[in-house]
Amino acid sequence: MSPGWLAAGAAVLLALVVLFVGIKAARFFDEATKAMRKAQENTDPLFTEANTTLTHVNTQLERVDGITANARAVTGNVSALTSLFTATLGGPLVKAAALSYGVSKAVKARRTAAEQPNKHAKRRPRRGAK
């Protein structure tokens, strides 16, 4: 065999390898294109559902914001009402409670003293008493 035939055979063999690799690459890219189309077709409904879900979540968050604002207003009203009650009735109620406590203690002490007349024998007698 001459070197020309050997070079031609090597060139044909190289061309066949390049052709084989090219066919495999074309199949790979065709399959990749199909897979990407399927993925795109499957993600469109997914994105649509996600968008719908986010819309519902935003609606619920707006409702929660409204509820929070109403609760804040109610808390402010209760605070103002408590302050008003404390300012107008708090002082007199505390004084009335202290007075009733003092009166009950005095009555109890008088009853105890009446039941035990000789408890304080060292006391000075009252004026005018013999």
Q: What confidence tens digit (pLDDT) does each residue in 40-76 have?
A: 888 888 888 999 999 999 999 999 999 999 999 999 9
DSSP character at residue 126:
P
| Mean predicted lDDT score pLDDT of the chain | 87
Residues 26 and 32: their CA atoms lie apart, in Å, by 10
Alpha-carbon distance of 21 to 12, in angstroms, equals 14
Paired tokens of 32: 């990749």
| Beta carbons within 10 angstroms of residue 108's beta carbon | 10
Please report the pLDDT score of residue 114 as a whole number: 79
Tokens of 46: 């997914």
Specify the residue for token string 């202290």: 98
Regions in the chain scoring below 50 on pLDDT: none
Torsion from C-alpha of 48, 52, 57, 61, nearest 10 degrees: 120
